[in-house]
């Protein structure tokens, strides 16, 4: 068929552009913003300005690396939301302008949909890697979202459960912040937890009905725990860092997997995929494999580079929408909050 998509992702602090031909990634480039590190989180105003500075260069490099010229692009895809409004406006205005200038169709993408479909991304020469069969269940875990979603087809989803407060990634980021470890915290906690005893400390477990999650309690329990221990021993964090990280991460990951098992039983579905930044977590990846063996699941893990935000996942979602006949209006406005539009 040979449909080439150029996609732009600018929902948070990374500026990304990708080229995709029929599901195969030709290039996927990223400018990571360092300006937020000292603040322990993303500063929206700084993020929008950095997107504005980086976007042309990133798109240019993505085109060069793919060997595709702008004339050969068939579809322009971009993230419409959810995310930081200012950042989304930069990416969507750029995509609209490009679509007008090139007279090429525009397809807006929901960021969550991009994460969900990232499991289908292939590298060149990798077309024999197996795809999940529909319907499958995806555990979508990122810095902003935590959901269990039944994916019925590339464009049809049913949300089975979600967080009632913090996202799983946010819970790990807050843990790192409380321990003074930097941002984003997920990868740091993951690394330190590898040398820790995950059963040493028992952080509080949320008791939420059905397939929903809550992660604000585990963060609060860490806060009170540290306060108490630091009073007795000012060096408590340094002396126990690995065990604290391992025990906290254990609580977050096991809570996710417990509900995933219930979802699989309820829906009678054993095709299980992970998506989103937290699906890079090594403990989660190992545990979903172990539980999968016990439950008879077929588990699909996205390659690490497609777990965190990237434009290739936006391109594959745009590709599926385009093939289904969808075209965006030029007057669509970005949205900041979760929506499955
Ligand atoms: O999907 P993503 O890049 O952005 C959102 O859409 O939110 O996810 C970012 C989140 C952050 O909270 C980050 O700490 C977490 O993913 N993360 C990880 C790992 N790598 C990234 N969490 C745990 N272990 C990791 N290895
Ligand atoms: Zn994301």
- Residue 332 maps to a domain: no
Residues 28 and 175 placed together within one structural domain of the fold: no
Question: Vertex 312, ends 322 and 117: CA angle to 5°?
Answer: 65
Q: Cα of 104 to ligand 2 centre, how many Å?
A: 26
CA dist., res. 106 & res. 100, Å (int): 9
Q: What is the pLDDT, as a whole number, of residue 339? A: 53
Coil, strand, or helix at residue 269?
Answer: coil
- Residue 271 maps to a domain: yes
Number of folded domains that form the chain: 2
Peptide bond into 135 cis (omega under 30): yes
298-300: strand order across its sheet:
156-162, 146-153, 136-141, 271-275, 298-300
Closest approach atom of ligand 1 to CA 249: 23
Contacts of range 123-126, beta carbons closer than 8 Å, 24 or more positions apart: 123/24, 123/25, 123/303, 124/24, 124/25, 124/26, 126/24
Residues 145 and 241 placed together within one structural domain of the fold: yes
Coil, strand, or helix at residue 104?
Answer: coil
- Residue 190 maps to a domain: yes
- Pocket probe mutation, ligand 1, options 15, 142, 191, 336, max atoms within 8 Å of Cβ: 142
Tell me which residue range forms the domain holding 11.
4-121+306-323
Residue nearest to atom 13 of ligand 1 (CA): 186
Q: What is the pLDDT, as a whole number, of residue 14? A: 86
Residues 205 and 273 placed together within one structural domain of the fold: yes
Element (H, E) at 120: none
- Residue 331 maps to a domain: no
Residues 112 and 141 placed together within one structural domain of the fold: no
**What phi and psi values does residue 249 have, to the nearest 5 degrees?**
-60, -40
CA-to-CA dists, residue 288 to 255, 281, 324, angstroms: 12, 11, 33
Residue nearest to atom 3 of ligand 1 (CA): 308
Ligand nearest to the CA of 111: 2
Residue nearest to atom 21 of ligand 1 (CA): 277
The domain that contains 107 carries what CATH number?
A: 3.30.420.40
- Residue 341 maps to a domain: no
- Pocket probe mutation, ligand 1, options 186, 190, 196, 281, max atoms within 8 Å of Cβ: 186
Residues 220 and 293 placed together within one structural domain of the fold: yes
**pLDDT by position in tens, the chain (length 341):** 799 999 999 998 888 999 999 999 999 999 887 776 776 677 888 888 888 899 999 999 999 999 999 999 999 999 999 999 999 999 999 999 999 999 999 999 999 999 999 999 999 888 778 999 999 999 999 998 999 999 999 999 999 999 999 999 999 999 999 999 988 899 999 999 999 999 999 998 898 999 999 999 999 999 999 999 999 999 999 999 999 999 999 999 999 999 999 999 999 999 999 999 999 999 999 999 999 999 999 999 999 999 999 999 999 999 999 999 999 988 888 988 765 44
Assigned token pair, 336: 């900041």
Virtual CA dihedral for 26, 31, 32, 38, nearest 10 degrees? 180
- Residue 339 maps to a domain: no
Element (H, E) at 329: none
Q: List, chain by chain if needed, residues with CB within 6 Å of any ligand 1 atom.
A: 12, 142-144, 169, 172-173, 184-187, 190, 276-278, 280-281, 308-309
Please, what sign has the CA dihedral across residues 326, 110, 79, 17? negative
Residues 172 and 83 placed together within one structural domain of the fold: no
Residues 287 and 315 placed together within one structural domain of the fold: no
Q: What is the pLDDT of residues 120-151, one digit of tens each?
A: 999 988 877 899 999 999 999 999 899 999 99
Q: Cα of 168 to ligand 1 centre, how many Å?
A: 9
Residue nearest to atom 16 of ligand 1 (CA): 277
Closest approach atom of ligand 1 to CA 282: 26
- Residue 128 maps to a domain: no
Closest approach atom of ligand 1 to CA 185: 14
Residues 100 and 187 placed together within one structural domain of the fold: no
Of the candidates 63, 58, 8, the one whose C-alpha atom is nearest the C-alpha of residue 33 is: 58
Residues 72 and 165 placed together within one structural domain of the fold: no
Closest approach atom of ligand 1 to CA 83: 6
- Residue 127 maps to a domain: no
- Pocket probe mutation, ligand 1, options 144, 179, 278, max atoms within 8 Å of Cβ: 278
Element (H, E) at 271: strand 271-275
Virtual CA dihedral for 5, 120, 140, 114, nearest 10 degrees? 10
Q: What is the pLDDT of residues 50-66, one digit of tens each?
A: 888 999 999 999 999 99
CA dist., res. 251 & res. 275, Å (int): 19
Determine if the pTM surpasses 0.85: yes
Give burial (CB, 10 Å; 0-12/13-18/19+) of 303: middle
Residues 76 and 186 placed together within one structural domain of the fold: no
Q: What is the pLDDT, as a whole number, of residue 340? A: 46
Residues 111 and 45 placed together within one structural domain of the fold: yes
Residues 297 and 310 placed together within one structural domain of the fold: no
Of the candidates 303, 215, 210, the one whose C-alpha atom is nearest the C-alpha of residue 253 is: 215
């Amino acid at each position: 068929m040979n449909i080439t998509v150029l996609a732009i992702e600018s929902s948070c602090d990374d500026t990304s552009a990708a080229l995709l031909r029929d599901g195969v990634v030709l290039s996927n480039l990223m400018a990571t913003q360092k300006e937020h590190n000292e603040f322990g989180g993303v500063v929206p105003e700084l993020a929008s300005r950095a997107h504005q500075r980086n976007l042309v260069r990133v798109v240019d490099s993505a085109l060069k690396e793919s060997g595709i010229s702008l004339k050969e692009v068939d579809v322009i895809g971009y993230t419409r939301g959810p995310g930081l409004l200012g950042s989304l406006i930069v990416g969507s205005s750029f995509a609209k302008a490009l679509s007008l200038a090139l007279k090429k169709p525009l397809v807006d993408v929901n960021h969550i949909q991009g994460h969900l479909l990232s499991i289908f991304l292939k590298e060149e020469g990798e077309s024999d890697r197996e795809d999940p069969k529909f319907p499958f269940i995806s555990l979508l875990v990122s810095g902003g979202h935590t959901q269990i979603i039944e994916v019925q087809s590339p464009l049809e989803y049913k949300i089975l459960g979600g967080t009632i407060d913090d996202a799983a990634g946010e819970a790990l980021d807050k843990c790192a912040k409380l321990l003074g470890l930097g941002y984003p915290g997920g990868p740091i906690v993951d690394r330190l937890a590898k040398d820790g005893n995950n059963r040493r400390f028992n952080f509080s477990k949320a008791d939420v009905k059905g397939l929903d999650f809550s992660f604000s309690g585990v963060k609060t329990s860490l806060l009170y725990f540290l306060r108490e221990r630091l009073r007795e021993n000012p060096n408590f964090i340094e002396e126990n860092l690995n065990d604290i990280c391992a025990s906290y991460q254990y609580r977050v990951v096991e809570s996710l997997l417990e509900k995933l098992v219930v979802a699989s039983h309820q829906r009678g579905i054993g095709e299980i995929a992970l998506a989103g930044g937290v699906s890079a977590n090594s403990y989660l990846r190992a545990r979903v494999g172990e539980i999968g063996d016990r439950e008879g699941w077929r588990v699909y893990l996205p390659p690490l580079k497609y777990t965190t935000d990237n434009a290739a996942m936006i391109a594959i979602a745009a590709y599926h929408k385009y093939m289904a006949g969808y075209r965006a209006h030029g007057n669509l406005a970005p949205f900041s909050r979760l929506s499955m539009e």
